[in-house]
Structure 1
């Protein structure tokens, strides 16, 4: 099949419009239409259903679009590797991690990475869904469990635990609980047990909720939990790494904590020699080392 025709087909399928695809490709609508007709004739199939509101892929069109998507991803990965020069680190790096870790730990530290590599373009994708690295949904992932996908390079960064924290102001007004029984006069802030989260965190929340806690605030990520805590709403279940950047928070009931949660960095085998990935890996490793030293001090 002619790659030029496939490239045009992919743009039309992606945009759902001949006009919009033409704008992206810098071609006229008629030129795009001619290439699509020629591709359909060469395959002897109809690739699009045409109607007044745009174009919809046929079943055969969906099959071809799946194939061109994979081709585009592979080409993007190859282009990124080619752009990595021997002396410079630049270009786009797509990093995925959880909302909590990304907002509370990673994003505040990116200044150091940009200072060293001003030509980098970080696309930070924060979500609980595990993106498919081999299929190039992202370049690098930091996850709260070891990735199970094949063909990945993995590096264990650290272990974290979920603990209870509150502000000085909240405790001054409401008192500091000495035992779980004292929680009857406090509000618990945590992720809802049904939301996507690490098993150790969910287990701790279940354990806490088995006590007589009259008032609660549940949020679907740790960033939201933190906002509730720093605004003196109650006592929150939070990852222990927040204490470095928020030393004014007070740990409550030190004997209450989750099991250890491993934090892994992973990236596809094919990006082993990518200088952008190497720069990010070294940056994260260095920041973890600093964090551990300060924690032990």
Structure 2
């Protein structure tokens, strides 16, 4: 039995379509379909139920996948183990995170990572949707919340602090609030997302007493990058994660209005998390990436 046929069968089952696997490999979907058909003919089994709307494993296909899945994983681990023993880290690393975090925090650090690991190829998938890590063949996900379905190793990368910020142009026009309670008199740029309410909460490090404020909503945007841009343009006060605006604060493009307070539009335990598959062997390219981003976060 050709290993390539077994891997194609596993990939199609994981991705749920011939077309998706074909896109991953850069080939025509018909070639993927032919490989699966060749495996079915060799086994004398129908592995998939095919209709115009869906592709699903048959009972025989599910049983067969359950048996060969661990074998394929062991073989992949064996290749990585052997390669890592004799060469520097190499191969494809598929990474996913949100659009804003990828653009503002991760991408600026990739040049340094590539300098350390020139043989590692990175495929960065930026999406604000909750991508199915296993189905998409993701090696590591950087998430802004710990909730990840499936058997994955999840660990905190760093805590996130939210800051109320405004551009000097806005403050010159509207004045600077002296206390979070003053925000009710100021224009606010809100997150237009279901989990973000209209209230902003603040607390000091020394006092756990929470202050809840309803700023005056003048603009609502569903993307953190666009909110940052609106704040830079002086359209109002925004509550943004520190990783989004760190260089803006350093350059004076945005002003931290309440440096002694931490803010939140949801809860105060925000953090960035890493999630990756609990394989028996973690390839050197993934270990190197995890070590690198952890050191970058310190």
Query: Which has the larger share of helix?
Result: 1
Is 1:152–1:269's contact at 8 Å kept on the other side of the alignment? Answer: yes
Query: What's the secondary structure of 1:93's corresponding residue?
Result: strand
Which consecutive unaligned segments of at least 5 residues does structure 2 have?
Answer: 202-211
Residue of structure 1 in register with 2:295 after alignment: 286
Match of 1:269 among 258, 263, 278: 278
Distance 1:212 1:149 in 2: 35
Is it true that 1:20 corresponds to 2:28 in the alignment?
A: yes
Is 2:48–2:57's contact at 8 Å kept on the other side of the alignment? Answer: no
TM norm structure 1? 0.69
Which consecutive unaligned segments of at least 5 residues does structure 1 have?
Answer: 196-201, 290-297
Residue of structure 1 in register with 2:209 after alignment: none
The 1:186–1:159 alpha-carbon spacing in structure 2 relative to 1, beyond 3 Å, is same
Distance 1:11 1:272 in 2: 20
Cα deviation 1:1-43 (Å, max 9, x = unaligned): 8767666778995039x99345569xxx8xx798488469x23
Q: CA RMSD in A?
A: 4.3
Q: CA deviation at 1:279?
A: 0.8
Q: CA deviation at 1:288?
A: 1.5
1:45-124 matches, cutoff 5 A: 47-49=49-51, 57=55, 60=58, 67=65, 74=73, 77-78=76-77, 83-124=83-124
Query: What's the secondary structure of 2:240's corresponding residue?
Result: strand
Residue of structure 1 in register with 2:199 after alignment: 206
The 1:33–1:110 alpha-carbon spacing in structure 2 relative to 1, beyond 3 Å, is closer
Residue of structure 2 in register with 1:174 after alignment: 174
Residue of structure 2 in register with 1:257 after alignment: 263
Of 7-16 and 116-125, deviating more is: 7-16
1:143-222 matches, cutoff 5 A: 143-147=143-147, 151-180=151-180, 182-183=182-183, 186-194=186-194, 202=196, 205-207=198-200, 211=214, 213-219=216-222, 221-222=223-224
Distance 1:268 1:45 in 2: 26
The 1:130–1:184 alpha-carbon spacing in structure 2 relative to 1, beyond 3 Å, is closer
TM norm structure 2? 0.69
Residue of structure 2 in register with 1:198 after alignment: none
Cα deviation 1:35-86 (Å, max 9, x = unaligned): 488469x23798545xxxx89647749956x949968984895455554454
Q: CA deviation at 1:164?
A: 0.8
The 1:111–1:271 alpha-carbon spacing in structure 2 relative to 1, beyond 3 Å, is farther
Match of 1:223 among 190, 200, 225: 225
Cα deviation 1:61-118 (Å, max 9, x = unaligned): 9956x94996898489545555445441121111222333222111111111011112
Distance 1:185 1:242 in 2: 25
Distance 2:129 2:277 in 1: 17
Of 80-89 and 278-287, deviating more is: 80-89
Distance 2:38 2:19 in 1: 16
Of 108-117 and 6-15, deviating more is: 6-15
Distance 1:37 1:151 in 2: 30
